Copies of this chain bind each other. A is one copy, B any other.
Amino acid sequence: MTNNQLIVVALGGNAISRSDQEGNVAEQFENSRTTAKQLADLTEQGHNLVITHGNGPQIGNFLLRNEVAAGVIYPLDMEVAVAHVQGGMGFMIALTLTNELNRRGRERVVNTFITTVLVSADDPAFEDPAKPVGRVLTADELVKHHERGWFAKEVGPGQYRRVVPSPAPVRIMEIDAIRRAVEGGDLIVACGGGGIPVVRDSENILSGLAAVIDKDLASALLAVELDVDCIMFLTAVERVAVDFGKPTQREIDTMTVAQAQEWLDQGQFPPGSMGPKVQGAINFLAASNKPDAVAIISHLDRAADSMAGTAGTRITK
């Protein structure tokens, strides 16, 4: 793998939050500092990075704060909440990476762009809200929930969660400014939480809405728009596996986009975890004109190794 590549690095949830922690601010900063080491290693390999990230635990906790305080102070709508969390998480990721680079004597400031992502009002996802957000609700809470016009799904016996549509990303609205920053050599954080979803009406007016754009698919769109060399999905497993949990399970070092599509069609990669990463890889590789374009799915702790070719799963044309 050559140096001086432009990489979209899509951070998974474990980059900031770990399931064995409460998830408070101190813990998020601690995890973010660990993640920053991997990101700094990638820059020291000579690459430039556009960093994206999820927001699952953070947006859930943000909405919970809203809900608990709703009798005292007005709540924030979900799209406004996503915008807030982009600011808070972007600050944290950018500051910890700036500090890690400072520690290495490589002074660079990392910039966070608030990112809105256009979705289509005709997206079939709006007919079937499927993405769970926030905490588990009881049957009693569900009544109040429905009164608000919200949707919910049963996730266990007598347990429900709010669900929102997860439409496909169509256009990253701030792409021109992001491209300019990338071409100028800036390290940036963008598309937090998959971006703030907006729809456009017949009079060209944009509105935010309560929905969640998959962050891996938004990252793939960003990678296409920026014409990057590589997209890297960092997660909690070492490699993509097929026949997961079966005696025939095997980890994949490399696969072509055609092979990835075939296994995806077979249902080898579960929706909501490996599925969107493989789909994002396919979307990027299908759209890229670069013959050497590559998508990598790797454990967060092996990011730099995976770029050097000694870890992770590589997907090529």
Which residues does A use to contact B, with CB under 8 Å?
22-25, 61, 64-66, 68-69, 72-77, 79-81, 83-88, 90-92, 94-95, 98-99, 102-103, 107, 109, 111-114, 116, 173-174, 176-177, 180-181, 184, 186, 188, 196, 198, 203-206, 208
Contact at B84–A205, with CB atoms within 8 Å?
Answer: no
Given contacts A87-B88, A90-B83, contact A203 B25 (CB under 8 A): no
Name A208's contact: one of B76, B84, B91 (CB within 8 Å): B91
> Which residue from chain B places its CB closest to the CB of A107 in the assembled complex?
B204
Name A74's contact: one of B22, B180, B188 (CB within 8 Å): B22
Residues of chain B lying within 8 A (CB to CB) of residue A76:
25, 88
Residues of chain B lying within 8 A (CB to CB) of residue A98:
173, 206
Closest 7 pairs (CB-CB, A-B): A87-B87, A83-B91, A24-B74, A112-B114, A68-B69, A84-B84, A84-B88
Residues of chain B lying within 8 A (CB to CB) of residue A79:
91
Within the assembled complex, what's the spacing in Å between the Cα atoms of A137 and B9?
45
A and B contact pairs by CB, cutoff 8 A, 14 listed? A68-B73, A80-B88, A81-B88, A83-B90, A84-B87, A87-B88, A98-B173, A102-B203, A111-B114, A112-B113, A113-B113, A113-B114, A114-B114, A177-B181
